[in-house]
Structure 1
Amino acid sequence: MTHAHEASDAALAAPLHARTASSLSPADAAPTASDSAGAPWLKLSAAAAASAALAACGGGEAEAEAPQALKQADNAPRMPLLGDMGGSGSFRSDQAASRTPTPDELMDWAEMVFPQYFDSHQATVTSGTLVFRYYGGTRNYLGVYQGNVVVLGPPTNNAVVNVGALASFGDAVFSSGRPLNDQDAARFLLQAGFAATTQDIATVRSIGFDAWLNSQFNAPIGISGWEWLNQRGYAAVDNSTAYYDNTYPGDCMIWSQLMTSPDGLRKRVALALSEIFVVSLSGLDFNWRSHAIAHYWDTLVFHSFGNFRNLLQDVSLNPAMGYYLNTRGNQKENTATGRQPDENYAREVMQLMSIGLVMLNIDGTVRRDGAGQPIESYSQSDVTNLARVFTGYDYNQSLNQQGTVPGTTRTVPNTAFTRLPMSLNASLHSNLAVNFLGATIPANTPGAAALATAMDTLFYHGNVAPFICKQLIQRLVTSNPSPAYVARVATVFNNNGASVRGDMKAVVRAILLDDEARSSEGLKQPGFGKLREPMLRLVQWGRTFNISSNFGSWKIGDTSSASSRLGQSPLRSPSVFNFFRPGYVPPSTALAQSGAVAPEFQLVNESSVGGYLNYIQGVIRNGIYVNAPDLPNNGSNGNNGYDIKALYTHEMVLVVDPDALVARINLLMCAGQLSAATVKLIADAIKATPVTAASTDAVKLNRIASAIFLVMASAEYLIQK
Structure 2
Amino acid sequence: MAAPVFRTTALSASRFLAQASMGATADSIARVRTLGFDGWITEQFSVPRAQTQWDWLAANGFNVAGNQNNEMGFDPSIWSQLITATDQLRQRVGMALLDFLVVGISGLPGNFRQFSMAAYIDVLMDNAFGNYRTLLDRVTTNAAMGSFLTYLGNRRANAATGALPDENYARELMQLFTIGLVELNADGSQRLNAGVPIETYSANDVAGMARVWTGWNLDSNDGTTPDRYRRPLVNTASQHETGIKTFLGRTIPANTSGEASKNLALDTLFAHANIAPFVSRQLIQRLVTSNPSAAYVGRVAAIFVNDGSGVRGDMKAVIRAILTDSEARNDAAGATTSFGKVRDPVLRLTGWARAYGVTSPSNAWAFGDTSAVTRLAQSPGRSPSVFGFFRPGYTPPNSPIANANLVAPELQVANETSVIGYVNYMQTLVSAGTGDVRANYADLISKAPVSATLVEDINLTLAGGQLSAATVTQIQTVVDGISAATPAGLNNRVYIALLLTLAAPEYLVQK
Are the equivalent residues in 2 in contact too, given 1:248–1:558 (CA < 8 A)? no
How big is the shift at 1:200? Answer: 1.3
Match of 1:318 in 2: 142
Match of 2:493 in 1: 703
1:203 to 27, 31, 34: 31
Are the equivalent residues in 2 in contact too, given 1:244–1:290 (CA < 8 A)? no
1:676 aligns with 2:505: no
The one-letter code matched in structure 1 to 2:67 is Y
The one-letter code matched in structure 2 to 1:263 is D
1:611 aligns with 2:439: no
Match of 2:437 in 1: 644
Are the equivalent residues in 2 in contact too, given 1:585–1:596 (CA < 8 A)? yes
Distance 1:586 1:198 in 2: 35
Match of 1:30 in 2: none
Distance 1:195 1:259 in 2: 8
| Structure 2 unmatched runs, 5+ | none
2:397 to 584, 587, 591: 587
How big is the shift at 1:677? Answer: 0.9
Matches within 5 A, 1:129-168: none
How big is the shift at 1:267? Answer: 0.6
Q: Rg bigger for which structure?
A: 1
Are the equivalent residues in 2 in contact too, given 1:296–1:320 (CA < 8 A)? yes
Match of 1:151 in 2: none
Are the equivalent residues in 1 in contact too, given 2:483–2:490 (CA < 8 A)? no
Match of 1:226 in 2: 54
Match of 1:93 in 2: none
The one-letter code matched in structure 2 to 1:217 is F
Matches within 5 A, 1:164-243: 178-179=7-8, 181-237=9-65, 242-243=66-67
Partner of 1:666, secondary structure, is helix
Distance 1:247 1:355 in 2: 33
1:388 aligns with 2:211: yes
Distance 1:277 1:569 in 2: 15
How big is the shift at 1:221? Answer: 1.1
Match of 2:319 in 1: 508
Superposed CA offset, 1:582-632 (max 9, x none):
01010001111111111111111001001101111011000013xxxxxxx
1:690 aligns with 2:483: yes
Distance 1:467 1:194 in 2: 24
Are the equivalent residues in 1 in contact too, given 2:394–2:407 (CA < 8 A)? yes
TM-score of the aligned structures, taking structure 1 as reference length: 0.70
Partner of 1:651, secondary structure, is helix
Match of 1:359 in 2: 183
1:487 to 288, 298, 323: 298
The one-letter code matched in structure 2 to 1:619 is L
The one-letter code matched in structure 1 to 2:484 is V
1:334 aligns with 2:124: no
Distance 1:224 1:479 in 2: 30
Are the equivalent residues in 2 in contact too, given 1:512–1:518 (CA < 8 A)? yes
Match of 1:448 in 2: 259
Distance 2:501 2:445 in 1: 17
How big is the shift at 1:285? Answer: 2.3
Distance 1:384 1:611 in 2: 43
Match of 1:719 in 2: 509
Matches within 5 A, 1:462-477: 462-477=273-288
How big is the shift at 1:321? Answer: 0.4
Aligned-residue Cα RMSD (Å) equals: 1.2
Partner of 2:97, secondary structure, is helix
Distance 1:413 1:333 in 2: 32
The one-letter code matched in structure 2 to 1:677 is A
Superposed CA offset, 1:137-161 (max 9, x none):
xxxxxxxxxxxxxxxxxxxxxxxxx
Distance 1:529 1:518 in 2: 12
Partner of 1:340, secondary structure, is coil
Superposed CA offset, 1:150-192 (max 9, x none):
xxxxxxxxxxxxxxxxxxxxxxxxxxx932x111111011111
Match of 1:374 in 2: 197
Of structures 1 and 2, the one with the larger relative CO (CA 8 A, separation 6+) is 2
2:114 to 276, 281, 290: 290
Are the equivalent residues in 1 in contact too, given 2:483–2:489 (CA < 8 A)? no
Match of 2:354 in 1: 543
Superposed CA offset, 1:314-345 (max 9, x none):
10110000000011010001000111000000
How big is the shift at 1:266? Answer: 0.3
How big is the shift at 1:413? Answer: 2.2
TM-score of the aligned structures, taking structure 2 as reference length: 0.98
Are the equivalent residues in 1 in contact too, given 2:482–2:489 (CA < 8 A)? no
The one-letter code matched in structure 2 to 1:178 is R
Match of 1:307 in 2: 131
Partner of 2:64, secondary structure, is coil
Match of 1:628 in 2: none
Are the equivalent residues in 2 in contact too, given 1:279–1:324 (CA < 8 A)? yes
Distance 1:491 1:203 in 2: 30
| Structure 1 unmatched runs, 5+ | 1-111, 114-176, 403-411, 626-642
1:425 aligns with 2:219: no
Match of 2:272 in 1: 461
Match of 2:335 in 1: 524
